[in-house]
Structure 1
Amino acid sequence: MTVRLDAISIVAADMAASLSFYRRLGLDLPADADAAAHVEAVLPGGLRVLWDTEDVVRTYDPAWTRPQGGDRLGLAFRCEGPEAVDALHAELVDAGYRSHLAPWDAVWGQRYAVVLDPDGAGVSLFADAQ
Structure 2
Amino acid sequence: MTEQTPPTTRTPRFDLIGLVVSDMAASVAFYRRLGLDFPEGAEHQPHVEAELPGGLRFALDTEATVRSFSPGWQPPASAGRAGLAFLCAGPAEVDATHEELVAAGFESELKPFDAAWGQRYATVLDPDGQSVDLFAPLAP
Relative to the length of structure 1, the TM-score reads 0.95
Do the aligned residues in 1 keep the contact of 2:112 with 2:122 (CA within 8 Å)? yes
Aligned to 1:86: 95
What is the RMSD of the two structures over their aligned residues, measured on CA atoms? 1.0
Aligned to 2:136: 127
Aligned to 1:17: 26
The number of residues matched between the two structures is 130
Map 1:1-130; keep pairs closer than 5 Å: 1-69=10-78, 71-130=80-139
Give percent identity, aligned residues only.
58
Query: Which blocks of at least 5 consecutive residues in structure 2 are unaligned?
Result: 1-9
Do the aligned residues in 2 keep the contact of 1:71 with 1:122 (CA within 8 Å)? no
Letter in 2 for 1:65: Q
Deviations 1:34-54 (A, max 9, x none): 110010111121000111100
Q: Judging changes above 3 Å, is the alpha-carbon distance between structure 1 residues 49 and 77 closer, same or farther for their aligned structure 2 residues?
A: same
What CA distance in whole angstroms lies between the structure 1 residues aligned with 2:120 and 2:80?
Answer: 20
